[in-house]
Chain A
């Protein structure tokens, strides 16, 4: 039994998907900006306990964003493969 062929999303669907992804990425980037300023302020004030947890949280945010970006490139490949 062969796997069913992957049907590419329609243009309207892709637009909706990318809008959702963009909003998610923007929220994560704003959180990362806040985290960076808060960490810098704490570190300059001598509080070193925040440095690595904040770096880990920021890296997790980046991983989420990169994951979405990889999904986007796959989406594009599916579309171009169908063309």
Chain B
């Protein structure tokens, strides 16, 4: 601390630093005071950052409340069984026009549907049935064609699964399933 004292500049009136007016204490010309003021201002900024993170948490809570409040997704006809060949896929929007999805026919009796937005940064994934995967061209992400689970690249969460119901010759979307694993 002796070093700090040596760095204190004497104010023009010769009075000690603690006796100086506030403006001179806030715009110091000596290092110890400068260090104090810069740490104080940085701390203020960090408290503001802390408030921003808390607001973010509350925003998630508000979005959660809104999500729970909205009604269950509607039952929506996607296509007829005959319209999708084995290994082929068709696009549709569910539960609203802003949510693109893909319906894939794995075998003659197996259908799967997933949201088309990559869980990394929402790029549109492309089905590659021959490779058994969905491919995201933005960052080389890959998801399993059968389960939607991430296989490679930056995505960590599975694709949103669309719950299907085959009624007669028609395929219906009846629900949305978000997953973490």
Contact = CB atoms under 8 A, between A and B. Distances in A.
Interface in B81-101: none
A9 to B, nearest CB: 10
Contact of A69 (B8, B39, B47, B177): B47
Contacts of A76: 40
B57 A59 contact: yes
A71 B177 CA distance: 48
A74 B44 CA distance: 14
B113 to A, nearest CB: 16
A15 B43 contact: no
B180 A36 contact: no
Nearest to B65: A51
Contacts of B181: 45
A82 B18 contact: yes
A15 B17 CA distance: 14
Most chain A beta carbons < 10 A, residue from B61, B119, B177:
B61
A25 B47 contact: yes
Interface string B132-172: 00000000000000000000000011000000000000000
Interface in B105-144: 119
B50 interface: yes
B18 A22 contact: no
Interface string B54-85: 10111011011000100000000000000000
Interface in A1-52: 8, 11-12, 14-15, 18-19, 21-22, 25-26, 28-29, 32-33, 35-36, 39-48, 51-52
Given A12-B4, A61-B50, A41 B180 contact: yes
Nearest to B68: A48
Interface of A: 8, 11-12, 14-15, 18-19, 21-22, 25-26, 28-29, 32-33, 35-36, 39-48, 51-52, 54-55, 58-59, 61-62, 65-66, 68-69, 72, 76, 79-80, 82-83
Given A36-B57, A46-B179, 20 more contacts: A11-B8, A11-B17, A11-B18, A11-B33, A12-B4, A14-B36, A29-B49, A40-B60, A41-B157, A45-B181, A46-B180, A47-B180, A55-B54, A55-B58, A55-B60, A58-B53, A58-B57, A62-B53, A79-B25, A83-B22
* Smallest CB-CB A-B distances: 4 pairs: A46-B178, A45-B180, A55-B57, A32-B53
